[in-house]
């Protein structure tokens, strides 16, 4: 009987720890931004591309290749997304402010405060591709190889 009780307690503790570690956010726009940063950090660039809006100027393959080349990644856990606030919301767009934790090639961590524009498409909020490219350090035109 004591072993059964002990295993039940351990199981409950594991379940509670797992549930507490999950990244659940109450604002759907904040959750969309958090999920986007998770896909980027995990290197799931095809899924990341599919979840972004305003992506008509770059193919999935080109986007994935550029993201793989970038040394910048979102930070983990509670450093990933902070100070989120809604600035403007319209029916199909929202402007939000957030501080995003980023890791670079040297392993150091920094944060970047930025306004993001999210679009409501297909029943959910989507971060714009340009905002992710900006965070990844891919702003401006890319040079053609000679």
Contact status, residue 138 vs residue 58, Cβ threshold 8 Å = no
Contact status, residue 98 vs residue 114, Cβ threshold 8 Å = yes
Domains along the chain?
28-135 (3.10.450.100)
At 11, the pLDDT band (50, 70, 90 cuts) reads: low
Contact status, residue 137 vs residue 45, Cβ threshold 8 Å = no
Where residue 115 falls (left for φ over 0; alpha for ψ -120 to 50; beta otherwise) is beta
Predicted structure pTM score: 0.77
Mean pLDDT, all residues of the chain: 85
Q: What is the pLDDT of residue 56?
A: 87
Could you report the per-residue pLDDT of 82-105, keeping only the tens digit for each?
999 999 999 999 999 999 999 986
Could you report the per-residue pLDDT of 118-128, keeping only the tens digit for each?
999 999 999 99
Q: Tokens for 52?
A: 């972004």
């Amino acid at each position: 009987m004591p072993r059964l009780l002990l295993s039940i307690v351990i199981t409950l503790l594991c379940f509670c720890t797992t549930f507490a570690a999950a990244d659940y956010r109450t604002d759907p726009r904040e959750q969309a931004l958090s999920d986007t940063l998770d896909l980027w950090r995990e290197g799931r660039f095809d899924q990341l591309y599919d979840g972004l809006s305003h992506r008509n100027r770059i193919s999935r393959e080109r986007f994935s290749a550029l993201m793989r080349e970038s040394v910048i990644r979102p930070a983990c856990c509670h450093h990933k997304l902070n100070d989120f606030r809604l600035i403007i919301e319209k029916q199909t767009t929202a402007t939000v402010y957030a501080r995003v934790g980023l890791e670079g090639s040297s392993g150091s961590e920094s944060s970047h405060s930025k306004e993001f524009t999210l679009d409501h498409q297909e029943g959910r909020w989507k971060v714009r591709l340009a905002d992710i490219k900006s965070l990844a350090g891919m702003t401006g035109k890319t040079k053609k190889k000679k």
